[in-house]
């Protein structure tokens, strides 16, 4: 028996004053059950204060050594980290399917977590075209306890579009995702769904942030 947060519909979450979250005990799994560790990488920019197999910390950029199996692929990513609590400019950006060896945040599919006061802001970009996730969702995220499994789809049923889903708790399904770019209500703008990313490189950009889990895996959803 483990603890998890009982999910409500997105509409219910948005209507909760102050973003209050109801915690209950039930059988289920938290994402902390996922394995920790960081995939092998190379530093390609900045000056990291820590760069090991278990922690990336400071200001800099890394590219994971193993490219994706192909451009039009669907993958998942276990991400654990923290945004520096002493500043309001801390950020971590995950880049997938970049065609740039320097894994620029404007190439490929990017998910950016930033400090927004005491809260977290999230943006998703496709080839430099960004959309912001509704603060009604991200206000439940604590900057010092980021713990997600993220699906990054660059081949949704063979159609010319991408899709990003983010979970804090299992089970993995579209209905249980905190964020699903297929759901317009999760976003404050229009997702660039008609685009696909063109590369196979994946990396992280950290700015006054700490990453302790970064591992690529198979997609949790088929589509």
Q: What is the pLDDT of residues 207-216, one digit of tens each?
A: 999 999 999 9
pLDDT band, residue 117 (cuts 50/70/90): confident
Ordered by where they begin, the domains of the chain are 33-218 (2.60.120.560)
Q: What pLDDT sits at residue 116?
A: 85
Q: What is the pLDDT of residues 4-48, one digit of tens each?
A: 323 334 333 333 333 333 232 233 455 545 556 999 999 998 899
CB 26 within 8 A of CB 6: yes
Which of 30-44, 51-65, 126-140 bottoms out in mean pLDDT, i.e. has the lowest? 30-44
Answer for the pair 208, 83: CB distance below 8 angstroms, yes or no. yes
The span from the CA of 59 to the CA of 137, in Å, is 27
Q: Report the C-alpha gap between 198 and 99 in whole angstroms.
A: 6
pLDDT band at 85 (very low <50, low <70, confident <90, very high): confident
Residue 34 confidence (pLDDT): 55
**Cα angle 47, 48, 52; round to 5:** 145
């Amino acid at each position: 028996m483990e603890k998890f947060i009982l999910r409500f519909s997105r509409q219910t979450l948005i209507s909760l004053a102050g973003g209050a979250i109801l915690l209950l005990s039930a059988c289920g799994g938290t994402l902390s059950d996922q394995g920790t560790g960081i995939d092998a990488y190379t530093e390609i920019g900045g000056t990291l204060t820590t760069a090991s197999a278990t922690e990336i910390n400071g200001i800099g950029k890394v590219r994971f050594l193993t490219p994706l199996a192909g451009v039009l692929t669907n993958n998942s990513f276990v991400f654990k980290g923290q945004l520096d609590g002493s500043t309001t400019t801390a950020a971590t950006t995950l880049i997938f399917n970049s065609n740039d060896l320097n894994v620029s945040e404007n190439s490929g599919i990017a998910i950016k977590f930033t400090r927004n006061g005491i809260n977290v802001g999230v943006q998703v970009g496709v080839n430099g075209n960004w959309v912001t996730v509704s603060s009604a969702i991200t206000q439940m995220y604590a900057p010092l306890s980021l713990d997600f499994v993220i699906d990054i789809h660059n081949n949704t049923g063979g159609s010319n579009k991408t899709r990003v889903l983010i979970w804090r708790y299992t089970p993995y399904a579209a209905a249980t995702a905190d964020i699903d770019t297929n759901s317009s209500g999760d976003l404050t703008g229009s997702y660039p769904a008609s685009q696909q990313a063109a590369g196979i490189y994946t990396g992280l950009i950290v700015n006054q942030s700490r990453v302790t889990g970064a591992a690529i895996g198979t997609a949790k959803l088929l589509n």
